[in-house]
Chain A
Amino acid sequence: MVYDVAKDWQDPYEIADPDGRLAEEFRARPIGFHSAELQRVLLKMRIDPRSPAYILFCRKPHAEWQIARMGPMLGDPVEIEDEPVFTSIEAAEWKVFRCRWEALAGNDLT
């Protein structure tokens, strides 16, 4: 018997941000000190199997980043999204935050 954690595990925590305060906090500072509540949201976003394994690809050091995803199998090519190209890591973080939010909470933050 093998327990499929990705399928069977349920995080009882639900993402909710009725007044948009957490999203605004993240947008203002994507990396670094965060409130306890935002940390919990980010933790769920990062471990929830419903959200793809996002990464960033740096195509030009200190200048250009693209959103990418790990391939489905070990060693598969990383899938890089051609557009958009971000000029800061923080801008790319905000985009991924919105994608994850939509995947987990169902509403588009934009």
Chain B
Amino acid sequence: MLKIVGYADRFSVRPGETIRFMVSSELADDYCADIVRIVHGDLNPDGPGYKEEVVDCGVNRAYPSRFQETRSGSCVVVPDHPRLAELTSFHVQAMMWPTLPERGEQSLITKWTAENGGFVLMIDGDGALSLRLADGAGKTATVSTAKPLIEREWYRAVAAYDASSGMVTLSQEPVARYSLVDAAARLDRHVEVAPRLDNGAPLTMGAWFEREEGGRLITGGHYDGKIDSTRLACRPLSPAEIEALATAQARTPVATGLASTAAPFVGDVVAAWDFSREMESTQVIDVSANRLHGRARNLPARAMKGHNWTGQEMNWRHAPEQYGAIHFHHDDIYDAEWEADFGLTLPNGWRSAYYAARLSCGEHEDYIPFFVVPPRGTSGAKFAFLAPTASYMAYANEHMFLTTAPDAGALGRLTVLGPHDLYMNEHREMGYSLYDYHADGSGVCYSSRLRPILNMRPKYQLHAALMGSSLHQYNADTHIIDWLEAMGHDYDVITDEDLYYEGLDLLANYRVVMTGTHPEYHSKEMLDALQGFTDRGGRFIYMGGNGFYWRIAYHQELPGVIEVRRAEGGIRTWIAEPGEYYHSFTGEYGGLWQRQGRAPQTVTGIGFTSQGFDYSAAYQRLSDSHDPRAAFIFQGIGEDALIGDTGLIGGAAGGCELDRADCRLGTPPHALVLATTMGRHTDSYLAVPEDLHTTAINVTGTTSPLVRADLVFYETPNGGAVFSTGSIAFAGSLSPNNYENNVSRMIDNVVRRFLDETPFAI
């Protein structure tokens, strides 16, 4: 098991900027940190071997080991306020949709500390609604409906305490009614405890407050499920008042923010939180006159259907009042909030490249990757390698084969796990990838880089990657970095996140942009920048497969987090709920770019068509490869040669996830389809579901022409051009025979011609 792990506060860093490294070490001895330049992260003895270079700098030294705890779980925190602290009696109500009610104690709404008392409206150990009260002087009382809540059913939860009588009222009232199922409960009980609300604690939803530690808020008792329409009053309310407050349309523009239904007792309303406001942000708005606004922590899911969603609107912007729910998960995480062990202020003169902080102690080691990019507005070369950091984040800590049944036929072989995978399996507080489910079965739609990302490492092998090196994403991309170094090509490294923030300006100084092996996730801003680049004469080399597939959104307020909504179609390991297809970060429609009229073929000439995970296949040249326009590509390559019949990823160049040309989806009519792997794949390769309009049996490598990778070239306006490989495995075929092979030769031909400023003819 790993004993030392870490992360950095940023992916890309420029000269003059500081990057901070957070490390947790369970070892007794000091650990050593060294900054290394990563060249080739592949340990495969059949390849060029692992390559890194230590970079001499001031941070390279020993540091004391210390364990740093990661606390996952999302919640809303409302800072303490006199209006809250002065409460003696209270009424609290909310709509709730529990998703794991049997998991144990879970907080719904609280103002509580273990030392000073308060109240916790919660799900108890029996899965029932419960109210816990404490006076901070040793007296506590707990009242429970003793009726287990039904998973994924909306309830109105109400709790009240009357200081004058000592009476507690507690009720759970289901929205849906079923014959033979009595899910409702209500009780009134006298208690001998006067809960103390001037306890110094914030009011929290979805978790209870435990303590503050060095400015870090520690919460516990995290809830799985939705909360909607939380209301707080300073006295118990009558049934009519409860109903009026519940149905008060918080969006009505009256002075208090509450509609007239609540007007007769509005003076007793302490807070009415409307989660449907500022959904793109972390803000949680109280629409009462008291304005007890809060913040969402650790990225609970927003723009979620509320209890009153009618199904008539699918877009939360059109009916925000029906999207007043927040979905909390005990395994949500945005920022692990570790303390920094060391920081590196990047001096001038460092070359743009892949780097990492190497942490080592005896046999234990870990790497924290980062990318040095050129100073803004400059470039160190005419060639840029675009590190697909959005896709690295999408796959961050992917648990697919740790959560679902492994080896269920999808791989065509046994799943292989390594030490990093075992660590991820047992440390789920590190959070999930966009491929995973939360423990409650809902899909993970947000992914942050402010946490250890165990599968984004040099030396890491992915259990699902192909035979041979078994690399994927970050580590597979080092095959390209290594080739650029071996061939002597000058290059800069830029990242997706830079592209999102800077757009076309980032690309302005480059003649050639090359992608990684699997650039799958893009926001509109990123696609616009790349399209603008090729439209202006830029040359674009797509070195992978299944690129430009999913639309994502970056958070408008928090750095380092992306969102996906797995809507409509595509290979989806989870499927967004009906009515939840629009990103909460931006309001943009989520899902495949293909479903939004912007298929990958419009960007690269090819788009996702098939995947398989055993072996790769070579490309057979097609007649287009003999077109004079393609002559420069095939210089030095035999007329009848198979392209890429060796390789480190599956043994050949065409493998893993594959793309095809398709004019109906946007492949330009003048594109040359140079070569294909059609008819060469095993039956573990299957056509993608978005192409299957009904059930079909002829979807496998030996039965479907959709199973293929196409190699494509075409010219773009203003003298630019695009060259696309259509295979994740392709870069694994660059290095065999000491880089003297026809894939290496072909890519070298393309790079050299693309660097030549001579415009391509149209």
Query: A: which residues have CB within 8 A of B?
Result: 30-34, 39, 42-43, 46-47, 53-59, 61-62, 65, 68, 70, 74-75, 77-78, 89, 92-93, 96
Q: Is B56 an interface residue (CB 8 A)?
A: no
Q: Is B180 an interface residue (CB 8 A)?
A: no
A61 close to B406 (CB less than 8 A)? no
Residue of B nearest to A36 (CB): B683
Q: Is B715 an interface residue (CB 8 A)?
A: no
Smallest CB–CB gap between A70 and chain B, Å? Answer: 6
Seed contacts A42-B409, A55-B463, A78-B422; 9 additional CB < 8 Å A-B pairs: A32-B614, A43-B409, A47-B408, A55-B415, A55-B417, A56-B416, A58-B416, A75-B426, A89-B413
B-side interface size class: 20 to 34
**Residues in chain B near residue A54, CB distance under 8 A:** 406-407, 414
B416 close to A65 (CB less than 8 A)? yes
Q: Is B308 an interface residue (CB 8 A)?
A: no
Smallest CB–CB gap between B749 and chain A, Å? Answer: 31
B439 close to A32 (CB less than 8 A)? no
A-B contact pairs, 14 of them (CB 8 A): A31-B614, A31-B615, A43-B409, A46-B408, A53-B407, A55-B406, A55-B415, A55-B463, A56-B414, A62-B43, A70-B405, A70-B406, A74-B428, A89-B414
With the chains together, A39 CA to B406 CA distance in Å?
A: 17
B414 close to A55 (CB less than 8 A)? yes
**Residues in chain A near residue B406, CB distance under 8 A:** 53-55, 70
A77 close to B425 (CB less than 8 A)? yes
B467 close to A61 (CB less than 8 A)? no
- Near A by CB (< 8 A), chain B positions 396-430 give 401-403, 405-409, 412-419, 422, 425-426, 428
**Residues in chain A near residue B422, CB distance under 8 A:** 57, 77-78
Which are the 9 A-B pairs with shortest beta-carbon distances?
A: A55-B415, A56-B416, A61-B43, A31-B413, A46-B409, A58-B418, A56-B414, A55-B406, A31-B614
Q: Which of A30, A58, A77 contacts B461 (CB 8 A)?
A: A58
With the chains together, A1 CA to B614 CA distance in Å?
A: 39
Residue of A nearest to B461 (CB): A61
Smallest CB–CB gap between A49 and chain B, Å? Answer: 9
- Near A by CB (< 8 A), chain B positions 605-622 give 614-615
B409 close to A31 (CB less than 8 A)? no
Smallest CB–CB gap between B238 and chain A, Å? Answer: 40
Smallest CB–CB gap between A100 and chain B, Å? Answer: 10
Residue of B nearest to A67 (CB): B414
With the chains together, A42 CA to B409 CA distance in Å?
A: 8
A32 close to B416 (CB less than 8 A)? no
Residue of B nearest to A65 (CB): B416
**Residues in chain A near residue B415, CB distance under 8 A:** 55-56
Q: A32-B614, A34-B683, A61-B459 are in contact. Are A56 and B439 (CB under 8 A)?
A: no
Q: Is B45 an interface residue (CB 8 A)?
A: yes
Query: B: which residues have CB within 8 A of A?
Result: 43-45, 401-403, 405-409, 412-419, 422, 425-426, 428, 439, 459, 461, 463, 467, 614-615, 682-683
* Most chain A beta carbons < 10 A, residue from B401, B414, B419: B414
* Most chain B beta carbons < 10 A, residue from A32, A43, A96: A32
B414 close to A75 (CB less than 8 A)? no
With the chains together, A70 CA to B404 CA distance in Å?
A: 10
With the chains together, A47 CA to B418 CA distance in Å?
A: 23
Q: Which of A47, A58, A92, A96 contacts B417 (CB 8 A)?
A: A58
With the chains together, A55 CA to B422 CA distance in Å?
A: 12
With the chains together, A59 CA to B417 CA distance in Å?
A: 9
B44 close to A62 (CB less than 8 A)? yes
With the chains together, A37 CA to B752 CA distance in Å?
A: 49
With the chains together, A56 CA to B463 CA distance in Å?
A: 9
With the chains together, A74 CA to B440 CA distance in Å?
A: 11
**Residues in chain B near residue A56, CB distance under 8 A:** 414-417
Q: A54-B414, A57-B417 are in contact. Are A74 and B403 (CB under 8 A)?
A: yes
**Residues in chain B near residue A33, CB distance under 8 A:** 682-683
With the chains together, A92 CA to B419 CA distance in Å?
A: 18
Smallest CB–CB gap between B729 and chain A, Å? Answer: 15
**Residues in chain B near residue A65, CB distance under 8 A:** 416
With the chains together, A96 CA to B415 CA distance in Å?
A: 12
Q: Which of A30, A47, A58, A74 contacts B413 (CB 8 A)?
A: A30
**Residues in chain B near residue A55, CB distance under 8 A:** 401, 406-407, 414-417, 463
With the chains together, A61 CA to B463 CA distance in Å?
A: 12
With the chains together, A78 CA to B45 CA distance in Å?
A: 27
Smallest CB–CB gap between B283 and chain A, Å? Answer: 33
With the chains together, A78 CA to B414 CA distance in Å?
A: 14
**Residues in chain A near residue B412, CB distance under 8 A:** 31
Q: A54-B414, A62-B45 are in contact. Are A32 and B682 (CB under 8 A)?
A: yes
A78 close to B615 (CB less than 8 A)? no
**Residues in chain A near residue B45, CB distance under 8 A:** 62
Q: A53-B407, A61-B43, A62-B43 are in contact. Are A93 and B426 (CB under 8 A)?
A: no
